[in-house]
Amino acid sequence: MKYQKIISLFLFFSLFQLTLYAEVTPKVLEETNIKTIGGENIHVQRMKDGLIFKGYEDKIVLLEAFGHSCPPCKASIPGYNRLQKKYAKDVVIIAVEAWGSDNSGLKLYAKQHSIEYKTVSKASSGKIIRFMQNLTGWVPGLGVPYLMLFNRGGVLAKDVPPQALHEAYVEGLIQKLL
């Protein structure tokens, strides 16, 4: 009888622990790889409520979709550069060119516009644009710049509809996630 109680308690706590593990371990729905124009490969996992950027799990991720000939996108570059420098310890900015610029064209664009954050061409973006669509319903052809902010756990904390993004506004969003 004594052993039966011990075994019952052991089984109960084992099942309880398994249930907790299942609840806190996010389920990976899909995976993809993106490659920055600097040659960095980033593995991305799509979860129900966000994206995990391998190697950046401990950072707030700003994921922007932009177009290489979009005036508001160009206007946001200096602000993103300043924010990336200011919050380098806590934030990573990844910009995905959604209009189809190839790697060599985007490298030239990044050099001409002094982009100092991670930049990915559409050709090297894997399924990331579709992941963005699945999470929020954003439609690439309807507008850029489009910004998504993910907390340190990869959960989508905020998405900002296509518009000119002001540095102070984006910094306020970052501050809320710190």
Predicted confidence (pLDDT) per residue in 95-104, tens digit: 999 998 899 9
> What tokens were used for 28?
């990976």
Strands (E) located in the chain: 30-35, 41-47, 50-53, 60-66, 91-97, 118-120, 146-150, 156-160
* Domain locations in the chain as residue ranges: 27-177
38/56 Cα distance (integer angstroms)? 16
Residue 64 has what pLDDT? 97
Residue 10 has what pLDDT? 47
127/135 Cα distance (integer angstroms)? 12
Average pLDDT by consecutive 10-residue portion of the chain (178 residues)? 53 47 72 98 98 98 96 96 98 96 94 98 96 92 92 97 90 97
Residue 3 has what pLDDT? 55
Residue 174 has what pLDDT? 98
Per CATH, domain 27-177 is 3.40.50.1110: no
145/70 Cα distance (integer angstroms)? 8
Per-residue pLDDT of 105-127, as tens digits, reads: 999 999 999 999 999 999 999 99
